[in-house]
Structure 1
Amino acid sequence: MRQRAQKIFDKLGYRKIMLVAILLTGLILYAALVESVQGNTYDINLFQLSSETIRSEKTVEDPIKTELEKQRLAEEVAPSYQFIDEIAANQVALIESLFGYILDAKAAPENDKEQRSPDAMISHLREDLRLMETSENGLRLTDDMLRSLLALPDDSLLTVQQQLEALMETYLSEPVRTEEVARIRTEIEQDIRRNEQFPDNVVQAAVTIGRFGIIPNELVNEELTASQVEQVRNSVEPTRILQGQVLVQEGQVVDREVYRQLELAGMTEEQLDYKPLLGLFIFVLVAMGLLLAVMSRSKTESERKKTTELLVVAAVIGISLALMKLLYAVGGNFDFVIAFIFPTALAGMIVRLLAGERAAVYVTILISAAAGIMLQSSYSASLQIDVALYILFGGLAAIYLIEQDGGRGRLLQISLAVALVNMLFVAIYLLIGQTQYSWSEIGFYFTAALVSGLLSGALAIGLLPFFESAFGLLSTMRLIELSNPNHPLLKKILMETPGTYHHSLMVANLADASCEAIGANGLLARVGCYYHDIGKTKQPQFFIENQVNIGNPHDRLPPEKSRDIILAHGFQGAQMLKKHKMPQEIVDVAAQHHGTSLLKFFYYKAKENNPDLEEASFRYRGPKPQTKEIAIICIADSLEAAVRSMKEPTSEKIKKLVDAIVEDKLKDGQFEECDISLKELKTVKAVMCETLNGIFHSRIEYPKETN
């Protein structure tokens, strides 16, 4: 399976695989969340009974009701009036003109009998009064009224004029509105009839003139009124259909108004709102872009491992979304926010252990945002911020509590800590919220927080082996388990090759310290050292560290036979580790820790008998070290054996030996296929010298006690 995956990787390349993985992850995320953002639609027909109670899933404006409310308030606005004091003077001027026309008609020459006849004067007067008669009020003086006015002496006519003008000024000095005109005209008529200054024969004419003179002098200011109406209309708050508002009760007839409101809320099957879909697309686009950036900046240098980490992240996101879907499906059957049972730290734990802290933090943020969208408890398709924060806090707590040397037992302890963080958040949620909760609800939420934490650890422990097996990853927990002395293979090395076991421990100390100094994986190097010489258990007596109280069997064998036995231990060890399904990284240490080094002792011994002997036949089959860790193990393995054989090792001797071994391997090209630098090799040499000096330090000779 892994070989097939490796072929696919080699064929497509790192970038294509990463882009495909990002694309598939984005599609999965979009498909999982699309139902949550779309909202519900209903098969509703006019004038039929509703099969269920339907509530609005969002708040929308009702434009028709808003307009009706604006019209109602606009109609209630009182008109703004403006008093025009010039109207009184204008009306007085009209009366003055009227009597001027009468006087003009009376002023016809005395010898002109035709012009001074009453009919002629009335006719002439009609011509002058035509504009007044056709005006808006319309002065309606009959011929009899005109005849009575023409019959008055000039001084009496002047008195009538003055009385009418005085009354006009009196009544029009106060505001008169249109609706008050009839009342004021009645009052002025009564005043005229009571006034003795008016001769009886002209009272009716005076009344008609008086009523004609009364017009509105306080008029509506159309511009100001329109401005006030507009202001009132603009001040009207839009009428809204509120989120959660019941639009139709179960069994209620769906009339036109109900159907219109359902359409406004976008809840009929004929409607499809593309805005949430576009918003979700942008969310997924941004999320996947950030994921690509996070994974591209991973500290992992191997492109293959970067791809593997991305696949792990994608799988964790998929599993988390599947759990959310399950909670989403059953959430409607509960009165509580069932989302609090979601294992908040599951994604963070797995990604932290298998892909690093940076990726784990981002995945936790992404999962919390996705949960906020999917695990809503309200009627609207919006972000549920309390659920998002709940998962975010729990996930981050787990990420920053996990340590490199944490095992499965430690993971359970972290689960309890996550449960505590969850319960603290639940306390915040219950205290900040304005809702009153019953004791049963409070108990449920705290229990859900505890279950969430414990479930996170349990699922992480259960899923980690599957991830390690499926993706060929070696987690910190797995390495710690492999370092347990009770492991069957380690017990086999200890029981059958105790010298090799001690040698492995010494090499492990050297390699671990050196790897940590240059930022490589010290734990991987240590555990790899424990198993690197397991091939020696096939024929332990042929390796010098196991030759206790026995002769060296190589003394009795030809160098070619000894060569075959020694060179085989790396390959045989790798085969044994594969048989026991050990991680590939550990198998690689066994196969590569000698690289293609030359077995010098037996080569030169064999060359004494055959000068034409080919050097390649006495080299390990390799391959050469492919990683920094194995390169360091290669140095530490040779160095430990060499220092152990030294007599009276000193700091200077150790330093020269370290320099010689590293120089020899460099010249032999053993580090050509890994990315260890000369600067890092310099650091490695310094650390190994320091470590060996600590092991082989000179002991102080204490004076003997005297009696």
Structure 2
Amino acid sequence: MRLTNWSKYWDKLKQHSLFSSLILVLLGVIMYVGMIRVVLPDTLDIKLHQIAKEDIQSPIEIVDRQATKDLREQAIAEAPTSYTYNKDAALIQVEKANDLFNVLQEIRKDNAAKSEGKEDDSNRSDTDDPDKNKPLSLDDQIKQAEKKLNEASDNHLPKAVISSLLSFSEQDFSRTRDITSSTIYETMSNKIKWSDLEATQQKAIDSIPTTVVSQKIHDVLKEILNQYIVPNYVFDAKTTKRNKEDALNTVEPVVIRQGEVIVKKGDLITSDVLHKLKVVGLMDNHFNVLPFFGLAILVFFLTALIALEFNELKRKAKSPPNAYLIYLCIFLMTMIIINLGNVIQATHLENIGLVLPVAAGPLLITILMNKRIAMVSSIIFAICSGFIYETDGLSSVTFDYRIALYVMFSALAGSLVLRGNYSRPRLIQTGLIITGVNILSVIGLMLIKNGTINLINLGEETGYAVLSGFLATVLTIGLLPFFEAAFGILSTMKLIELSNPNHELLRKILLEAPGTYHHSVMVANLAERACEVIGANGLLARVAAYYHDIGKTKRPRFFIENQFNGVNPHDRISPQLSKRVIIAHPYDGVEILKEHKLPKEIIDIAEQHHGTTLLKYFYYKAREDMGDAVLESEFRYPGPKAQTKEAAVVELADSVEAAVRSMPKPTPEKIEELVKSIFNDRLEDGQFDECDLTMKELHEVRHSIIETLNGIFHSRIEYPDEVNDKKSSL
């Protein structure tokens, strides 16, 4: 129980904004400790309402959080308020008013009938109840009316109004009823807000001509209209909230740029200027040691660069779970390697720094996170290496440009060259390329420094360069399983484990929706091969295809592949209800997958495998029933659209497999024509607008799926027994 609570607290902590800030601070501390110590410059002797004696520039680039917060609050305050118009409210209220008059009319008729029957007492037997057919008094009629009205709906009409309606003549009663219906309908045909309700009701009452009705009827109409004219243009909290969120998202952070002039010479020091000076740290106390201050700015800049890259990852929703922790571990490991080389080199093993496998860091960042942040990290590691490794000591702050360039070229080679599925052969190939880049860097730097080539030194440094590439590859391959297991990253082994048919969810599909299980296996075969053709993760596509329709197990008989007895539940329900059931299955599947804690990549594909496509069958069926009143948007999946190549391929394989399976006699020509039409329909519908699938890759996917389908639905020869069976059946 304690472990569970600790896990919850840890998950909450990781999601807190301060957690990412803490990691960034640790990264800055690691760089600071790895290089020389730094301090900030002296504070400025500036006070409010003074005149600036010189131009003051920002020494750093920093986000002005207070100004950003003020802009966001202003944007939220200015966001428009949304309302929803209920077009059917007028008819509903007219119907409610008619219900009122129907109840009263029934009581009036019943009482009138009893009054007429009172004159014919001679025909009544002695056993008849004399009170049963006795006309009711007005008070009893009012009680009876209130009882019936309260049973039908909420009744707030005063007794005086009910009394008047019951005592009206038939002509006045009918006139009151007609005026009520027409006035309610005409008034509520326009938009009515809560704030305008009282004025609208009064306007409706004033519209009744006093020359047509008596004062008593007018008073009755006033009470009825006040009850049955209600708002039909009400506040939409959800849309208003979305408007505020959209307005908030449009506000960019207020950034004070490095080198930006905060105040010019001769200008007045205002509170705004003073605030900016405090934000950039110029109002704090610092030691007056300029070299250390310069390096502090450098560390901050490099940390800010990492923060900006993480913000970019978040903005594109491509940040893996535990991204900050993963990066912190890799960064710390790489800085230890760099410092270790400096310690070894201090024992007079010259050029030993060339052996260090610094490229392993960017390689791991590329595989586990993002290529762009790996490239930025390569440059940061190079800068740190230049400061950590000592030169000849001719200046107080030394920078070894040679080792810095060597590390930068080696690390960039790893982050730029590595791509695809990151298999071991691909990593070994990348290691060879890193080795080649290391050798060329050594030769180039030797020529720049000496102008000649010393064969002995060249042989030694080339050996170091080869060993560096080898160690970087081995270290990357060796550490990958550790990071995958420690941070819950979706690895190949995890995918293989999830593809086991004995997995509880796969068995659930097999037992509860066997037709869906067979369909999912077919989709997996199509998707895996298509992904491999375009260099995407085929194993991920296969496993995701196994689980993509898990939501159908909630209502399996509503899907045709599971209808084995010929009974289709959709024949007995409306297209709108059928639409809700069908459209719900991707999102039901997401809930099931989250409940069983499957990887996010598989959950995303299950959610996206229908994109925002149109449920055509039920849409056209609804149009046959209701005509043009049916909106196409109501019969589209809510999305999101496919965000990755794997999701797009699974979506295509899913729709193609279902369509081909329904063909009576599939032939290669029919299959190719059907697949092309489905691909063109998805493309024209914009289902691939949010993923990085190119037209060339789309063509290759289509060709692969056609080939696989032709292999599955190939024609076969008829054996003699089958021929004889056919002849005997004629």
Give the TM-score, by structure 2 length.
Answer: 0.44
Q: Over alpha carbons, which structure has the higher Rg? A: 1
Give the TM-score, by structure 1 length.
Answer: 0.45
